[in-house]
Amino acid sequence: MLDEVERWLERRSWSAADRPLSRLLAAKRSAGPAGTVTVVLPALDEETTVGPIVETIRRELMSEAVPLVDELVVLDSGSTDRTAEVAAAAGARVVHRDTILPRLAPLPGKGEVLWRSLLVTSGEIVCFVDADLRDFSATFVSGIVGPLLTEPDVQLVKAMYDRPLGAKDERGGRLARGEQGGRVTELVARPLLNLHWPRLAGFVQPLGGEYAVRRSLLERLSFPVGYGVELGMLVDALELAGLDALAQVDVGIRLHRHQDGQALGRMAATIYRTAQARLARGHLVRPVLTQFDRTDEGFTPTVHEVAAEERPPMITVPEYRVRRAASKDQVA
C-alpha cells in the first residue's frame, strides 16, 4: 500500500506553477463546453474577506485577457452581516441557500450549501473556495482547476498548502512555519484515513475547503450536510472513480480564521461520524457531543448535536435532472 501511495504522489501531486495560465486557457478552448468553470464560495458572515476574494477572481481569472472562470457564485447560508451585499458589490452572483430547492427545508452546515450549489450553477468543472481566506491568491483557483483541464482522467483535485497560525515575518515574505493549523486534520482525519482508507494517505490537506471536481462526479456523490463533507467526498470519490482520478496541487500558503478548541471538537465529532457511517453504514447510538465551559458555578455542560444527515447524489433529484437536460438541449 505504501508503494501505491508513493507512486500516486509522484504522478498526481503538482505545484500550481506547473501549469501556466496560457496552457490552461489553451486547454479550456480545446475542451469546449466540458471546460466551463464555475467557482462557488460558500459563505456565512464573511463580510470582511468575501469581497477581496471575489474581486481577485474577477480581475485575474474572468477578464477578456484571461477568461478562465465562466461563473462566480457566492452561496449565502444565512449570514446576518453584510456578506451578500459585499459579495454582490464586488461582482459575484449571490444566491441565498433558502431560495434553492424550496420544497426541501435547508439544514445547517457547509455540506448542505455545497450540495444545493449544484442546482444553481452550470460549469462542468466546479471549484469550491472557502470565503474566509485572507491574502487570497488566484492560484487557489487556477492551480486546482488546471489538472482538470489538462488531464482528462483526473476528476477531483484538492489544494494543499501551509496553514501557519502565526503572522508574516519582518521581511514580509514567506510566513514563518512555526505551529501549523489543521489540528482536526492531524488529530482526527489523518489517523482515520491512514487506518481505514490508506490509499488516501498521500493527501496533505484532506479536509481543506479548496478543491475542484468534475460535475459528472459531484452529481453522483452523497453530501454530508456538516463539516464531514470533505472527508466524505474524498472517501466516496475514491470508491467511485479510483485513486488515479484524484490529485492535489500545492498553492502555497492559506491564511484564514482559526476556530477555537470547542468548535474544533464539534468539527472532529462530525468528521468521525462521517467516517463511521462509511465504515459500517450502521446506527449511531449517541449522535451528540457534550462539551464544558467554566462558569461561576463550575463546569457547565453543553450538548451539541452531531450532524448525521446526508443529502443524496444530486443526479437523483428530479429538479436537477430537468435543469441538466435543459442545459444540454441549449448547448446542442
CATH of segment(s) 2-331 = 3.90.550.10
240: buried, middle or exposed (CB in 10 Å: 19+, 13-18, 0-12)?
middle
**pTM as predicted:** 0.86
For helices 229-241 and 261-280, angle between their N-to-C axes, nearest 10 degrees: 30
Q: Cβ–Cβ contacts within 10 Å for residue 2, how many?
A: 9
Domain ranges of the chain: 2-331
List, in order, residues 6 or more apart from 310 with CB less than 8 Å away. Answer: 111, 222, 223, 224, 225, 232, 277
Q: How far is CA 275 from CA 30, 224, 236, 313, in A?
A: 39, 11, 11, 18
Closest by Cα among 37, 87, 90 to 66: 37
4 residue type, one letter = E
pLDDT in tens, the chain (332 residues): 668 888 999 999 999 999 999 999 999 999 999 999 999 999 999 999 999 999 999 999 999 999 999 999 999 999 999 999 999 999 999 999 999 999 999 999 999 999 999 999 999 999 999 999 999 999 999 999 999 999 999 999 999 998 776 554 444 444 444 455 568 888 898 888 888 898 998 998 999 999 999 999 999 999 999 899 999 999 999 999 999 999 999 999 888 566 677 888 888 999 999 999 998 764 444 566 665 566 777 657 677 776 668 899 999 999 999 999 998 887 76
CB 72 within 8 A of CB 58: yes
Please provide the DSSP assignment of 27-55 as one string. HHHHHGGGG-EEEEEEESS-TTTHHHHHH
Q: Is 312 exposed, middle or buried (0-12, 13-18, 19+ CB in 10 A)?
A: exposed
Angle between helices 50-61 and 139-150 (to 10 degrees): 50
CA pair distance 308, 228, nearest whole angstrom = 9
What pLDDT is attached to residue 44? 96
